[in-house]
Amino acid sequence: MKDVKKSPFLREMCKTVSNMYRLGWDERNGGNVSLLLDENEVAKYLDPKKVKRTIPIGFDAKELAGKIFLVTGTGKYFKNVEDDPENNLGIIRIAPDGVTAELLWGYADGGRFTSELPAHLMSHIARLKVNPKNRVVMHCHPVNLLSMTFIHSLDEREFTRSLWRTCTECMVVFPDGIGVLPWMLCGTPEIGIATAEKMNDFRLVVWAQHGIYGAGADLDETFGLIETAEKGAEIYMKTLPYPILQTITDEDLKVIAKAFNVTYKEGWVD
């Protein structure tokens, strides 16, 4: 058996959460990430028959039975993950009953997965139906996107259009737009269900006055998605106090979509 700490998936997860911390997206224990792993890849590092302990999931995730995820731990600080992955991360398999997680590695100090696991797993279920290659759900608290939820309308079309207008990349990277939820209590099945419903239509879902969820095929793609939305939000917030003399127009947005061969949400460009 190879050392799981040297596996590409674990190293990439460590690097990703370190970058999220460095960018100020994840203060204290803020944020959580789940990565769907390839069973054959995991088998090179871990004996799938060796279950360390079982942990109740809190809802029925039967649709994901047998699937293995690398998940950040509850209460853990992203800044510490890279130096101590075994305490801060865990590898879990969804048991056949759907309501139990089988711990294969990690959470070594007796810990468990993020309190947002229901929102993650429900989002995985939703995104896998849209794109079978979807492997990542990522949650964090980027300052500018969060700030926008205080001063901007939470209408999804208007919120997205404000970001699209901030720089060319936004239309290129998230032509499918951003879903927005009003403030809700985190860690509950209710917010998980609401997030997953949005994930039927969007890869990005903003939680007003809390943060953002992103979904994608791999860690880089999902990180880049949030990074681009946050860059747009930073430009939006920085320019807000000043008179706008010029911006990206609807005509320009259509030119971008055509040039980069992306399809934007129908009716979201006038």
Catalytically active residues, by annotation: 116
**In whole angstroms, what separates CA 238 from the centre of its chain?**
25
Question: CA angle 189-193-195, nearest 5°?
Answer: 115
175 binds ligand 2HA (CB under 6 A): no
Residue 142 CA: distances (Å) to CA of 40, 135, 236, 248: 35, 22, 14, 24
Among 73, 113, 116, 118, binds ligand 2HA (CB under 6 A): 116
d(CA 127, CA 216): 8
30 binds ligand 2HA (CB under 6 A): yes
CA torsion, ordered 202, 204, 205, 211, to nearest 10 deg? 180
Q: Which is nearer to ligand 2HA, 114 or 134 (CB)?
A: 114
Residues 138-157 that bind ligand 2HA (CB under 6 A): 139
Residues 69-98 that bind ligand 2HA (CB under 6 A): none
Tokens of 136: 């990542």
Tokens of 78: 């992203």
**In whole angstroms, what separates CA 229 from the centre of its chain?**
12
Among 51, 99, 184, 186, binds ligand 2HA (CB under 6 A): 186
Which listed range, 28-36, 44-52, 166-174, 231-239, lies at the site for ligand 2HA (CB under 6 A)?
Answer: 28-36
**Nearest-approach distance from CB 175 to ligand 2HA, in angstroms:** 27
Where do runs of H (alpha helix) occur along the chain? 8-22, 39-42, 78-81, 85-88, 117-130, 143-151, 156-164, 168-173, 189-199, 219-239, 250-259
Beta bridge partners of 136: 35, 216
32 binds ligand 2HA (CB under 6 A): yes
CB 195 within 8 A of CB 213: yes
Which listed range, 15-23, 25-33, 144-152, 172-180, lies at the site for ligand 2HA (CB under 6 A)?
Answer: 25-33
34 binds ligand 2HA (CB under 6 A): no
**Nearest-approach distance from CB 138 to ligand 2HA, in angstroms:** 11
Q: Which is nearer to ligand 2HA, 73 or 175 (CB)?
A: 73
Among 16, 29, 88, 134, binds ligand 2HA (CB under 6 A): 29
**Nearest-approach distance from CB 224 to Zn ion, in angstroms:** 20
Applying CB under 6 A, which residues contact ligand 2HA? 29-32, 114-116, 139, 186
